[in-house]
């Protein structure tokens, strides 16, 4: 039987993450992802995915220093970025720049050092382009700051508040990894040919660029902006549902109950934005949408997904819409590289087949 899109087909074994969509579970290497996001840093979570265990204080500090070492853009990368058309999408810039990182040091087999280099440089690329696009001078990394804090600093030129750092860190830890999603599959397929780590991550970025995978938080922001105030919510949502249109930020291909990442982000959003009118609107829209979705699509179990509260949280820290998907990418690169490393350990070339449905000429047996 054909499984279009390979839905439900198991193509690999993994020890990196576990998802149970019926029960709303997401596990990183044996730990609940929500607990990792609440109690551990980005660096500690990245170490867990790459090494299979939580780090000691010394190991976390070593990884932090390694990430800091590889933050700066090589001069040739700055030259490449400066030659790109200013109207180029940020995801296109990332795809191009990461591809250009693939010098002779990136060969089969992939290594954790390569994963660290790519993870370290991605926020710098994003911040460099964002400031250039806005007509501002790019800001060099600050080696006093941690990975997430430095990313916010390079975007704004100001020391970010602890609340903003922890908010963004929570989001980035929750989006580090999510099983065999489309971009992760792209990375593993490329790696299975014994191509290099850079090629695999470039494939993944190209996949993430598609709006069906990486674009939803921006769409949620557009939706909330269009609704504007609580009094408009029900009429706006009913109009969409009666036209058969999708409500962005609700439902998930995997989760048939509440998305555990959305629950953690909602908790963080309530913590940092108690008096925020935007958050108040988001919470009201969530409540109204879930009620109407049950009315229009009974039994479908359509709950808030991670993108809905990603939009609320990112807005609360003044993150521009066009940075949503690139920031998602800057976190998910950890999961991609972990999968590339795992693929290389027991590599089998991905080679699915297709069923021909076109016309045939008269053929003779040879």
pLDDT at residue 303 above 90? Answer: no
Q: For residues 16 and 187, what is the distance between their CA atoms, to the nearest angstrom?
A: 15
pLDDT in tens, 265-290: 888 777 766 667 877 888 899 889 98
- The mean pLDDT value for 287-302 works out to 85
Determine the pLDDT at residue 125: 98
- Does residue 55 share a domain with residue 202? yes
Model-level pTM greater than 0.75? Answer: yes
**Any idea of the CA torsion for 140, 146, 151, 156, to the nearest 10 degrees?**
-70
Does residue 269 contact residue 262 with C-beta atoms inside 8 Å? no
The answer to whether residue 160 is domain-embedded is yes
Total domains in the chain come to 2
With respect to residue 361, please indicate whether it lies within any of the assigned structural domains: no
CA nearest 20: which of 2, 39, 33, 11? 33
- Residue 57 predicted with pLDDT over 90: yes
pLDDT over 90 (residue 304): no
Q: Is 320 a residue whose pLDDT tops 80?
A: yes
The enclosing domain of 286 has a CATH number of 1.10.230.10
285 and 202, same structural domain? no
Most distant CA atoms of the chain, gap in Å = 76
Torsion over CA: 184, 186, 191, 196 (sign): negative
Domain stop point among 271, 301, 316: 316
Helix intervals (H) in the chain: 33-39, 42-51, 57-69, 75-83, 90-100, 112-133, 147-156, 162-174, 182-192, 197-208, 211-214, 216-227, 230-242, 260-272, 277-296, 306-316, 324-345
192 assigned to some structural domain:
yes
Bridge-based pairing of strands 31-32 and 25-28 is antiparallel
Residues serving a catalytic function are: 252, 307
Reported as a pLDDT band with limits 50, 70 and 90, residue 145 is very high
Q: What is the mean pLDDT of the chain?
A: 89
Judge contact between 72 and 124, C-beta under 8 A. Answer: yes
Lowest model confidence (mean pLDDT) among 49-53, 136-140, 328-332, 362-366: 362-366
Domain around 10: 4-214+321-345
Looking at the predicted structure, is the pLDDT value of residue 232 above 90? yes
Residue 350 lies in a domain: no
At residue 361, the 3 state secondary structure works out as coil
- Whether residue 31 is contained in a domain is answered as yes
- Domain membership flag for residue 353: no
**55 in the same domain as 91:** yes
Judge whether 284 lies within some domain.
Answer: yes
Confidence class for position 97, pLDDT limits 50, 70, 90: very high
Q: Which residue has the higher pLDDT, 229 or 253?
A: 229
142 and 38 belong to one structural domain:
yes
Asked if residue 263 has pLDDT above 90, the reply is no
What pLDDT, on the 0 to 100 scale, is given for residue 252? 64
Residue 357 lies in a domain: no
At residue 92, what are phi and psi to the nearest 5 degrees?
Answer: -65, -40
Based on the fold, state whether residues 139 and 245 are members of the same structural domain. Answer: no
Residues 337 and 293 in one domain: no
Contact of 201 with 333, CB cutoff 8 Å: yes
Instruction: Say which residues have a Cβ less than 8 Å from residue 237's Cβ, sequence separation at least 6.
Output: 227, 247, 285, 288, 289, 292
What mean pLDDT do residues 75-102 have? 95
């Amino acid at each position: 039987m054909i499984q279009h899109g390979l839905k439900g087909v198991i193509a690999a074994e993994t020890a990196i993450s576990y998802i149970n969509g019926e029960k709303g579970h997401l596990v990183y290497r044996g730990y609940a992802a929500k607990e990792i996001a609440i109690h551990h840093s980005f660096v500690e979570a990245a170490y867990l995915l790459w090494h299979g265990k939580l780090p000691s204080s010394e190991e976390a500090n070593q990884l932090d220093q390694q990430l800091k070492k590889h933050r700066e853009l090589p001069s040739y990368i700055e030259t490449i970025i400066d030659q790109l058309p200013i109207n180029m999408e940020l995801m296109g810039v990332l795809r191009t720049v990461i591809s250009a990182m693939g010098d002779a040091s990136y060969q089969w087999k992939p290594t954790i050092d390569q994963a660290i280099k790519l993870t370290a440089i991605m926020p710098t690329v994003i911040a460099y382009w964002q400031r250039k696009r806005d007509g501002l001078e790019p800001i060099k990394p600050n080696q006093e700051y941690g990975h997430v804090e430095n990313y916010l600093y390079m975007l704004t030129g100001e020391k970010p508040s602890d609340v903003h750092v922890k908010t963004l860190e929570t989001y980035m830890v929750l989006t580090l990894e999510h099983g065999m999603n489309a971009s992760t599959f792209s990375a593993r397929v490329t790696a299975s040919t014994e191509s290099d780590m850079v090629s695999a991550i470039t494939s993944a970025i190209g996949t993430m660029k598609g709006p069906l995978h990486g674009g939803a938080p921006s769409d949620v922001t557009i939706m909330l902006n269009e609704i504007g105030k609580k009094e408009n919510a029900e009429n706006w949502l009913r109009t969409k549902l009666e036209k058969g249109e999708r409500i962005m930020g609700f439902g998930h291909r995997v989760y048939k109950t509440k998305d555990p990442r959305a629950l953690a982000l909602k908790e963080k959003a309530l913590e940092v934005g108690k008096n925020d009118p935007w958050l108040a609107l988001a919470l009201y829209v969530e409540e109204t949408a879930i009620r109407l979705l049950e009315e229009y699509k009974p039994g479908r179990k359509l709950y808030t997904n991670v993108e809905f509260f990603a939009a609320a949280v990112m807005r609360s820290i003044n993150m521009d819409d066009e940075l949503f998907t690139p920031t998602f990418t800057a976190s998910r690169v950890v999961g991609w590289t972990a999968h590339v490393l795992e693929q290389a350990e027991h590599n089998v070339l991905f080679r699915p087949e297709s069923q021909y449905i076109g016309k045939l000429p008269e053929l003779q047996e040879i």
